[in-house]
Structure 1
């Protein structure tokens, strides 16, 4: 036995050295780790200039929050900036003629120009401001850093509202309403849940492996100390990892104390709906993909006929009535996902992880979904 060990240990040492050298070469060839570190440094620098306390204690934000707290039903909170005011105006026309909906819509702008533009068109909509315009000059990865800063600020806003005990829906203006979502009484469907999230995917086998991966376009928050802690954890995590809020929230929901529930795809879905059989049209569909190169979100909406206003800006009352059929037939050339064409190694890897309880739902892998973006 000693004889075998005498030869085996040096061989293992050599193998380990070769492995380490190989990994080091890969790191040096791929500077992604250095770019990731630069990104996190920039995000931390900007986020530290607008800490949670600055938002939570701001006089104007206090007034905004007090209006939300006084509302008889949970408000639908959308956040926007100057880049998508046109999308917000189209969204308002989408829900304009749905009973008990527009009265629950509140908006929070990330720059004053956007706030003024919306206020001019719809002065009766509650319209707050958390100004991020001063952070628009970011040298490296400008678009992605400012996008991440908006997501990080969104988590702080959710934490602030939760700390005040305000129940609310967080929604995106690029979400198409195909029916009266308010009539579904979703909050009552999950009375014990602190948080209710939409998820990516559809009900085909391919997406069963991504069960409870949060989309983040539509979610409900019961304002209490637990949900406050949830969003503080989300913002903290985002400063240490290159992960968007949706992936962090999906990971945190693995802890049962947060009491997360998840909406079926028949209620809320995203672009993945168009990759499925389309038998059941969801009440809400977010267009988080589908853009062609150089297209804006409004260009996309026009191309697929998700326009709810006339050219003069007034709302089209017939457009909502046709929304369900338009959604069902949109993106006709979108290919459908099919697990039959996946490599066997992918299927085996997922099966083994599930058997040995090693990140069985791939939530840790979901955290890395943005790693290739910088």
Structure 2
């Protein structure tokens, strides 16, 4: 009886968190706050009572989570957890108008994104990589590429980033995939030492944001590209341009003993075990190919993020890959809290959920400007790099936080989850492997 009851309590807790997020998104903030607090408290109290009973009647020993439990869960939860989110039963406690707003908005987002991705994916197939003369000529010259993906809306940030890399002579291995001809022309003219590939995808020429169909397509493209590079390159880095470097990243980070190396979502607790997904290193082999192929396949079926799938597959040791983490003290993101008693991180990512234009303005305000702003133009002409390093090594470059409307729910849910994992450490596998990958999107979008 223990494990079925535990599973029901945890499922109820997760559903309460999702429901609270959806209520808040429908401008039912007070209702959502009360609902979340009371139902979460009830779930946690039930969990404590359950463990007290077990502790009392099991001679002072809590039950050990058996490996076979996770095997069974893997078969059941892969098919049930994504479906739970769209069950109308979650909304029965709300008035009819709120039910309709929440249910249809959530389901519409889910369906629109998946339908868009599956439709767009018909015009882009895995075989396009092997038939691309330009790509394979680049791979003949660059056996361990450092890959950047961009469109015209991320162009200024990317120009600033590559200018930053020039200060450390770190541009020679860069391979930039430009999804529109404007970006291709500017990057090609600005940096003759890097390889620029024009990968025409009209669906990715426009601006996109987390959760919409274009963003899902972007993740899908990246997963398919990663699986292809796992069979053709010796190794590769996937890197993100919204980052400031204070030293050469490629000579700072050690990764020789890993199949895969990922950045961390946070500094401690569950966040330290979660993948952020902006930076990752891949050693090419069959295991890595299967790892990213499965991510692409899963994106076509479920409304999920690739970084949560990376966390899941590493944690469950799928395909026998060896995963390692880049220390958070080395590469930080929007969660980073500067302190006087510790050194500044050498790499800072401006990934607070804003658009590339806002990120560029924040970099400029922080003194982290490496491209000459006078050379930027709406016309497709080359940009110029500033001659001196704009950010001194001792100057603080802070990743700024973006507090969106669902963050209060995310933070509350995270704290409750951390508490549960302290009580039952083996729950980390269940939460990171089975809950977060399928639930996280519905809290944040």
Shorter-chain TM-score tier: 0.7 to 0.9
Contact 1:200 1:215 in 2 (8 A): yes
* Counterpart pick for 1:262 among 322, 325, 332: 325
Correspondence 1:354 to 2:445 = no
2:436 equivalent in structure 1? 365
Q: Secondary structure at the match of 1:271?
A: coil
Offset of residue 231 of structure 1: 0.8
Contact 1:78 1:107 in 2 (8 A): yes
* Counterpart pick for 2:202 among 128, 133, 148: 133
Offset of residue 347 of structure 1: 5.0
4+ aligned runs moved over 4 Å, structure 1: 26-29, 134-138, 140-143, 275-278, 329-334, 341-348, 355-358, 360-363
* Counterpart pick for 2:282 among 221, 229, 233: 221
2:160 equivalent in structure 1? 90
Contact 1:177 1:323 in 2 (8 A): no
Q: Distance in 2 between matches of 1:242 and 1:120?
A: 38
Q: 1:44 to 1:290 in 2, by over 3 A?
A: closer
Contact 1:271 1:289 in 2 (8 A): yes
Q: Secondary structure at the match of 1:279?
A: coil
Q: Distance in 2 between matches of 1:215 and 1:175?
A: 13
Residue by residue over 1:97-140, the C-alpha shift from the partner in whole angstroms, topping out at 9 and shown as x without a partner, is 214x12222211112221111112222311112211256689x9
Q: Distance in 1 between matches of 2:279 and 2:390?
A: 19
Q: 1:294 to 1:246 in 2, by over 3 A?
A: closer
1:62 equivalent in structure 2? 136
Correspondence 1:159 to 2:221 = no
Q: TM-score, normalised by structure 2?
A: 0.66
Alignment of 1:1-374 (within 5 A): 22-23=89-90, 25=92, 29-31=102-104, 32-69=106-143, 74-99=144-169, 101-134=170-203, 144-184=212-252, 186-188=254-256, 191=257, 193-202=258-267, 207-256=268-317, 257-274=320-337, 279-289=342-352, 291=354, 296-313=358-375, 314-319=384-389, 322-327=392-397, 331=400, 346=417, 348-355=419-426, 359-361=430-432, 364-372=435-443, 374=445
Residue by residue over 1:52-100, the C-alpha shift from the partner in whole angstroms, topping out at 9 and shown as x without a partner, is 112332222222322222xxxx33211111111111111112111214x
Q: 1:213 to 1:348 in 2, by over 3 A?
A: closer
- Unaligned stretches of 5+ in structure 1? 1-19
Q: 1:318 to 1:117 in 2, by over 3 A?
A: closer
Q: Distance in 1 between matches of 2:366 and 2:234?
A: 36
Q: 1:274 to 1:290 in 2, by over 3 A?
A: farther
Residue by residue over 1:167-188, the C-alpha shift from the partner in whole angstroms, topping out at 9 and shown as x without a partner, is 1111011111111223325233
Q: Distance in 2 between matches of 1:273 and 1:137?
A: 30
Contact 1:308 1:320 in 2 (8 A): yes
- Unaligned stretches of 5+ in structure 2? 1-86, 94-98, 376-383
Q: How many pairs align?
A: 335
Q: 1:270 to 1:68 in 2, by over 3 A?
A: same
Offset of residue 348 of structure 1: 4.2
Contact 2:163 2:385 in 1 (8 A): yes
Q: Distance in 1 between matches of 2:353 and 2:123?
A: 34
Offset of residue 331 of structure 1: 4.7
Q: Distance in 2 between matches of 1:345 and 1:373?
A: 17
Q: TM-score, normalised by structure 1?
A: 0.78
2:77 equivalent in structure 1? none
Contact 2:113 2:216 in 1 (8 A): no
Contact 1:251 1:364 in 2 (8 A): no
Q: Distance in 2 between matches of 1:182 and 1:258?
A: 22
